[in-house]
Structure formats: C-alpha cells, structure tokens
Chain A
C-alpha cells in the first residue's frame, strides 16, 4: 500500500475509494425478500432431512424392538414341551417338604437313537426334590441327548442327593416330544443384510410444453439436448423375515447425464497475446480477430439423492435366491447443473436450482418429492454370509424436474441394473 502510485491511479483512488452512491429504496426490499425466501427454502430442506432421518430411525427401531421381542427374549411357552403337565422351578413351593420318594430312570428297551429326559407329573407334595434336580440339569430336560450320554447322565443322577426319586421317574414311561419347533437362540426369523451396489442405467425423458405456445421452445430443447449415460449407486440395509418378507432402506444416488450442443453462427472473438522481449519484459501484444461459428457444448447433470422405503418378497433356491421389490423413495437432494437454451432469447444459458449461482436460469425445482421404485433381484451365495447381487430396477419420478411455472414439463424414468454385494450380519 506504500508503493508510489501512477498519477492516474492516485486520482481515481482519491476520488473513488470512499465514494458513496445513492442507493435505490427498492434494493433493501429485494434483499429482504430474497433472504426470507432462502430461509424458507432452507427450513423446508431441514424439515425434509429431519423427516427422512426420522423415517430411517423409526424403521430401524421398529425392526430392532420387534426382533428383540420375538427372538432375543423367548418365553418358556415357546419351548417344544409336551402338552402334559410340566414341572417348572417357578411352580415349586419353597422348601415345604416331605421326605423324598424314590424314583427311577427307565432304561431303554432296545437301542434308541435318541433319548430324552423328561419329568412326569407327581403329587404336589413330591415336587421339591424334582425342582432341585431341574435347576441343576436344566439343559438336560430340554435337549435331546445322544444315547452315549444316557448312561453318564444316569450315573450322575444316581450320585445325586435324590436317587430314590429318580428311580421312580425311571419306572414311568417317557413321553417323546414333537420333533419340530425346537427353540433356537441364534439366528432367529429375522436376517439382516447390508447391500452395496452400483448400476449403469439409462434415463427416459419426457419433455412436453406446458402450453401450446411453448411447443417451439420444447422442440428446440429436444434438438439441443441429447441423452448420455446415467449411473446410480446404493447403500441399503434389509431386514428379511422368515427368509420371505423384506423391508429395505438406505440411500440411493443417481446421476442423469445429457449433452447440450448449440452452434452460435458468426461469433467475433478478439484474442490478445503478449509479446515478450529477450529480458522477459512485455514489448507489445498481438491481436487476433476471429469471426466464425462456435459450438457451445456442455455436459448437463441431474443429481439426486433419495431415501427408499422398499418392501420385498424373497424365495430361496439352494445357492440362489430371487427377490421382487417395490416401494417409494423420498428425494432429499436434487442438483441440476448445465446449460440449455434460455426461454427468453433461445441462447445458451446456465441453469441450476442454487440461488447463489449467478446468472443461472431458475428453471428447476429444489426437491423432487416422491418417486416409485421397483426391482427384481437375483442373489448368489458366494459364502454363507456373502451374496452376489444383480438387481434390474426402475425408478419413476412423479414430479417434473422443472418448476410449475416453467415452459416445459420435464420428467424422467430411469432403468438400470444394480450389481453389488450383500452381506449378512447379526445384531
């Protein structure tokens, strides 16, 4: 700042550095209005994020609590015991007791492949000793035992404090439980999966004028905007009930790409190039004037981030499984960027839905609302917990990407094939 200024610089600085211009009255109103609109938009976006987060958290919590209620804390009523009265520790009166009566464990008549230790109904007065045994050998009363274990168990029982009572039990017939419906403390009816997928896709666009008068503009846009590749990616969690019904959610990202190409005829450009001397100083400039056609090319992108809520039906076939899925997606982010023909003068102009993007035409919405999702998936087990996943899918956006008051209604349906991995995990 302490450098010596050229006289002309000095004059301009002195007279303009602190110069104040008269401000028009409407300017503050414009700023105030714009800020209010931006805050309202920000508020809406925050609400949308909060709603999406609540949905995901609520679904997760619902699944977790259901899972915990059904599988993690099984009740005794779910055990596969016979219908006959059963002696339980909780049913026993504390220590009010006559002396123990002898019971015996019956030896198998022939060589049984499986044997079960069971307890027959006894008069209430005789319950206490059995209850004590039941507490010590709780698992033995519930599980099927191999034959080899039988003699060891018998020996153990005979060594216990209640040999006589056990001998009496031995003399009674052994009821066999139903084979099916064994309680399970691992796995459960719910299985949880994490999917990571990516997809090449294609986007089908519908571009219609909102009024007959805008048909030529819609035509010119169709002529200058051509589809290019589209792709998507997804991270999602699935809860599958009984290997059949699935509830899935996560985040789906997609990027629709188009190419904008427009030729400006007879554009004049002047290019100035510096000419340097031998010591590196500028000794002059070259001015080149070009007058020719120039093609404006831009890669247009429509990026979306959605939270899907998907219901699925699954069917297993050995190492394969098939799934059919359908649901809705809530759009939480929409970013259109690129160029198109301005409705005002049919000249190229950038577009965006970001109000901070200067000179961008405000043609697009800030959010896309709901879209519908459908897919058919094929999964192949690479290992017991890892599956290869191939999932052809479609996603239909229900709202136009453009604003309601814009001249065209622009909608998309994307179709692609997700390929990825599905990992089973335990909570």
Chain B
C-alpha cells in the first residue's frame, strides 16, 4: 500500500491503515522517544501520545515534506511538552567549567546504538533535550531557544555540559573495558 493510500485510509479512520502506519514508523519513532525520555516506559508513553496526535491531525499533512519527517516533528514536539522551561531553570547537575576533552575517534566507533541511548538517558533532562535537538535533529541554538522558551546562550551552555558529561561517561566506559 502506498503512502498516499495509507494517509487517505487514516483520514477515513480506517484502523487497518492506521495499524500499518504505526508498524512502519513506530520503531524509528520509539528510538526518538528513547532519546528524550528517562526510561523505556516513559518513551512508550510518549510514543502512544504522539501517534494519537498523528492520527488526530493527519488531515493537516500537506505533502510538502516527507511523511516520516512530519511524524518525527510531532514525536519531538510531544517529547518536548514533557520538559517545559522548568527543566532548564532548575537543573540538578552542574559543571563549573566548559572545557572539552579530545578523545580518539576509534573510541566512538566502538560504541553501539544501545550504549549511546543509555548515555543520553543518563543526562539531566535539560541537557538531554538540547543535545538531542542540536546534535541529532539538527536544530540551531536560536531555534532551540525559541522551541523551549530559553535564551540562546542557555542552549549553548546546556549543549557544552551535555557533551562534557557524555565524554566523561565514554572515558569511564573505556577504562572499565580496559
């Protein structure tokens, strides 16, 4: 069934079409949710809310971009609703200086997807969201500031801190492995 047929079916509230859309995109979108959530159960709740919104608002899809990209934006927005400005004002973990470690590229190459997801999940809420939006989704700091209602400079700081924590964690993992 083509993507257009699926969308038309979803517009008619056809459950089979909805099920196919879910099966086709749920894996990737669950991975997106896992990057924003603290744990798997929270990610599943996010995915559920996101797909309900997808089916509720599928009439608004204008075929201007890819259907997957449209779904992904809804999933990211759903995830962001969890973390309002509060997450960025009252951050629990702080790093006093924004310094940068230089690690060997081979260290990164050995990391598996599940390990990376675990590392992201351990970040504090605000850092995790900014890192996801900037490093993986590709948003700029200005866009992130607008989306989250925070200063652009706060977004930069959060990103630096997130990178620093991730690098520290990766170094620790390497030491344990050695």
A binds B: yes
Given A8-B166, A15-B113, A282-B157: A22 touches B91 (CB 8 Å cut-off): no
Q: Report chain A residues within 8 Å CB of B135.
A: 5-6, 8-9, 12-13
The B141-169 residues at the A interface (CB cut-off 8 A) are 153-154, 156-157, 163, 166-167
Count, A-B residue pairs, CB within 8 A: 121
- Which of A5, A8, A35 makes the CB contact (< 8 A) with B108? A8
Question: B31 and A284: CB pair below 8 A?
Answer: no
Decide yes or no whether B61 CB sits under 8 A from chain A: no
Question: B27 and A11: CB pair below 8 A?
Answer: no
Decide yes or no whether A107 CB sits under 8 A from chain B: no
B35 to chain A, nearest CB (A): 7
Question: A20 and B154: CB pair below 8 A?
Answer: no
Decide yes or no whether A185 CB sits under 8 A from chain B: no
Bound complex: CA A28 to CA B20 (Å): 10
Question: B111 and A11: CB pair below 8 A?
Answer: yes
Bound complex: CA A35 to CA B23 (Å): 16
Q: Report chain A residues within 8 Å CB of B94.
A: 270, 272, 285, 287
Interface of A is mostly: mixed
- Against B, the Cβ 8 Å flags (1 = close, 0 = not) of A242-280 are 000000000000000000000000000111101000000
Decide yes or no whether B90 CB sits under 8 A from chain A: yes
Q: Report chain B residues within 8 Å CB of A20.
A: 27-28, 30-31
Given A20-B31, A270-B94: A28 touches B19 (CB 8 Å cut-off): yes
Give the nearest-CB partner of A282 in chain B. B157
Question: A270 and B91: CB pair below 8 A?
Answer: yes
Question: A274 and B163: CB pair below 8 A?
Answer: no
Decide yes or no whether B122 CB sits under 8 A from chain A: no
Decide yes or no whether A30 CB sits under 8 A from chain B: yes
Decide yes or no whether B117 CB sits under 8 A from chain A: yes
Question: A34 and B26: CB pair below 8 A?
Answer: no
Question: B113 and A282: CB pair below 8 A?
Answer: no
B23 to chain A, nearest CB (A): 7
B41 to chain A, nearest CB (A): 10
Q: Report chain A residues within 8 Å CB of B45.
A: 358
Question: A19 and B31: CB pair below 8 A?
Answer: yes
B31 to chain A, nearest CB (A): 4
- Against A, the Cβ 8 Å flags (1 = close, 0 = not) of B6-32 are 000000010100110011001110110
Of the candidates A5, A12, A27, the one having the most CB atoms from chain B within 10 angstroms of its own CB is A12
A189 to chain B, nearest CB (A): 52
Bound complex: CA A125 to CA B85 (Å): 99
Given A31-B48, A270-B91: A13 touches B136 (CB 8 Å cut-off): yes
- Against B, the Cβ 8 Å flags (1 = close, 0 = not) of A16-48 are 111111111001101110110011000000000
Bound complex: CA A272 to CA B90 (Å): 7
Decide yes or no whether B47 CB sits under 8 A from chain A: yes
Give the nearest-CB partner of A6 in chain B. B163
Question: B92 and A15: CB pair below 8 A?
Answer: no
A132 to chain B, nearest CB (A): 72
Decide yes or no whether B74 CB sits under 8 A from chain A: no
Decide yes or no whether A1 CB sits under 8 A from chain B: yes
B75 to chain A, nearest CB (A): 12
Q: Report chain B residues within 8 Å CB of A77.
A: none
Question: A34 and B95: CB pair below 8 A?
Answer: no
Bound complex: CA A38 to CA B166 (Å): 41
Decide yes or no whether B173 CB sits under 8 A from chain A: no
Decide yes or no whether A7 CB sits under 8 A from chain B: yes
Number of interface residues of A (CB under 8 A): 40
Question: B23 and A28: CB pair below 8 A?
Answer: yes
Question: B91 and A9: CB pair below 8 A?
Answer: no
Bound complex: CA A285 to CA B120 (Å): 22
Decide yes or no whether B134 CB sits under 8 A from chain A: yes
Question: B44 and A270: CB pair below 8 A?
Answer: no
Q: Report chain A residues within 8 Å CB of B89.
A: 271
- Which of A12, A21, A32 makes the CB contact (< 8 A) with B34? A21
Give the nearest-CB partner of B50 in chain A. A31
Q: Report chain B residues within 8 Å CB of A272.
A: 91, 94
The A273-313 residues at the B interface (CB cut-off 8 A) are 274, 282, 284-285, 287
Bound complex: CA A270 to CA B94 (Å): 8
Bound complex: CA A297 to CA B22 (Å): 40
- Which of B44, B111, B117, B166 makes the CB contact (< 8 A) with A24? B44
Question: B27 and A21: CB pair below 8 A?
Answer: yes
- Against A, the Cβ 8 Å flags (1 = close, 0 = not) of B42-70 are 00110111011001000000000000000
Of the candidates A11, A287, A358, the one having the most CB atoms from chain B within 10 angstroms of its own CB is A11
Decide yes or no whether B82 CB sits under 8 A from chain A: yes
Give the nearest-CB partner of A13 in chain B. B136
Question: B90 and A269: CB pair below 8 A?
Answer: yes
Q: Report chain A residues within 8 Å CB of B105.
A: 7
Give the nearest-CB partner of A36 in chain B. B15
Q: Report chain A residues within 8 Å CB of B13.
A: 39
Decide yes or no whether B175 CB sits under 8 A from chain A: no
Q: Report chain B residues within 8 Å CB of A271.
A: 89-91
Bound complex: CA A20 to CA B13 (Å): 26
Q: Report chain B residues within 8 Å CB of A3.
A: 140
Q: A16-B117, A23-B23, A28-B26 are in contact. List 13 more A-B contacts (CB 8 A).
A: A1-B138, A6-B135, A6-B163, A12-B116, A12-B120, A13-B135, A15-B111, A27-B44, A28-B22, A35-B18, A270-B90, A270-B91, A282-B98
The 6 closest A-B pairs by CB, nearest first: A20-B27, A9-B135, A287-B94, A11-B108, A272-B94, A23-B26
Query: What would be 14 A-B contacts, judged by CB atoms less than 8 Å apart?
Result: A8-B135, A9-B136, A11-B108, A12-B166, A15-B112, A15-B116, A16-B136, A20-B27, A21-B27, A32-B18, A270-B94, A271-B89, A271-B91, A358-B82
